[in-house]
Amino acid sequence: MCRVRSLLLICACLMFLSACGKTQAIISTDTGQTTQASTPTLPVNTSTSPAITQEPSQTPAPTAIPSPLPPTPSPLPFLPPGLVRIEVDNITQLQLLTTLPVSEIYQLAFSARGDKLVTLSEPWDDRFNDYLQVWSVKDGMQLLDIQKLPSPGKAFFSLDENQVYVFFASKGLDVYDLTQGEVVRTIPLKDDQLGFSMEGNMVALARYQNVGDSSVVRLLDLETEQELLSFSEPGMVMSLKLSPQANLLAIGSQTGNHYRISVRDLLSLRLVTDLVDFDSGLVFSPDNSLAAISKNGQVTVLSSPFMTWKASYGFSDPFTDPMPMDFSWSQGSKLLALEDRSTIRFLIAETGKELFNLPNTCEVRFSPIATILVTWCYQGDLKIWGIVQ
């Protein structure tokens, strides 16, 4: 009985082993087919294998087309063409043309032809390190930039516009060449005040004398550095202004408790007029035919060179504080620019009729032939205005 059981057990094991062998064979066969289909076997000896021919792709390769370059913009002119002289008849057409990045200005002067302008600026937080900048009005380019100047008093151009004179009280004149960009000459002086004229080659100078409470006023030729004349003026001279044709000299001086502006003829040294306790300095028209000054809200216009009364007018606003700033060039009625509480007012000089105004503006200057004018306040950039025909 045991023997029969043993035989049956052996037969069952053989049948089981046979079934396992068949299943393994089936799995191996399926796995081989799958591997062969997904990963083809490459020939081992590649040097003797025939070249593989690749079928062309059905998707065409992209063609590189260069993008067109954007057109180069033509630079706009700094000042537009067709500028006309600013006069009484067209002042209402005044428009802002452009600006220059210069601020903190306390003195500005045009060259004789109006092609250049020079500015003196004083930083608010560094009062003893002023800076000077020269600009080309034609293209807006900066021609000179001098930093860290020890408080110059005035800056102005030579008659040929190639040099800039910088005045320092009790020191003299430094002459900057615009081509070299440096000082090429120094004129030593001991004077306190200076006045200049764009059309002349001379300056007026003044030095206070403690003895006698008077000042020595003299004229100096810039070319030869020779003194042309000298005379004494009562009190301490605090300002000097030469008329455009350099035939009159306005001398502002403090005498006791009074501030007076005496105007002298430079040919004869004759006292032409004496203006006492006026609020502003005297302003001459470019053709030397008029002068303007103000006192207690009243503007007085004088006929030059004899300085006779021409007109006088006030304003309806009792708080008006008009300060004559500059005249526009004109053969007919003169255009006078006044500063009144940070507003520039343009009016007919002979009648006082207001024609136009620019608010939020502190200073104004016309170019010599009045094709442009510039305005500025201490914190803002320099603005250039004009009229396009």
Q: Please, what is the Cα angle at 240 between 238 and 246, to 5 degrees? A: 170
Q: What is the pLDDT along the chain (389 residues), one digit of tens a residue?
A: 444 444 444 544 445 444 444 444 443 444 344 334 444 444 444 444 444 444 545 555 555 566 666 666 656 789 999 999 999 999 999 999 999 999 999 999 999 999 999 999 999 888 789 999 999 999 999 999 999 999 999 999 999 999 999 999 999 999 999 999 999 999 999 999 999 987 778 999 999 998 889 999 999 999 999 999 999 999 999 999 999 988 999 999 998 889 999 999 999 999 999 999 998 899 999 999 999 999 999 999 999 999 999 999 998 888 888 999 999 998 889 999 999 999 999 999 999 999 999 999 999 999 999 999 999 999 889 999 999 98
Give dist(CA 31, CA 29) in Å, integer. Answer: 6
- How many angstroms separate the most distant Cα atoms in the chain? 167
Dist CA 276 CA 255 (whole Å): 10
Q: What is the pLDDT of residue 332?
A: 87
Which residue type does 129 have? N
Tokens of 174: 């430094």
DSSP per-residue string spanning 208-244:
EETTTTEEEEEEEETTT--EEEEEEEESEEEEEEE-T
Q: How far apart are the first and last CA of the chain?
A: 136
Question: CB-based contacts of 375: which residues, under 8 Å, 6+ apart?
Answer: 344, 358, 361, 362, 363, 364, 382, 383, 385
pLDDT of residue 75: 63
The predicted pLDDT at position 331 comes to: 83
CA distance 270 to 99: 44
Token pair of 160 as six digits? 């040929």
Q: How far apart are CA 327 and CA 284, in angstroms?
A: 7
Contact 386, 95 (CB under 8 A): yes
d(CA 224, CA 157): 16
- Which amino acid is located at 258 in the chain? H
pLDDT at 198: 74
DSSP secondary structure letters along 311-360:
EEE--SSTT---EEEEE---SSSPEEEEE-SSEEEEEETTT--EEEEEES
Q: Is 127 exposed, middle or buried (0-12, 13-18, 19+ CB in 10 A)?
A: exposed
Strands ordered across the beta sheet of 142-149: 105-110, 116-121, 130-136, 142-149
- How many helices (H) and strands (E) are present in the chain, helices listed first? 1, 28
Q: How many CA atoms lie less than 13 Å away from 320 in the CB half-sphere?
A: 18
Give CA–CA dist 94/367, Å, rounded. Answer: 14
pLDDT computed for residue 319 by the predictor: 84
- Entry field: residues in the chain: 389
pLDDT of 349: 97
Cross-strand pairs, 371? none
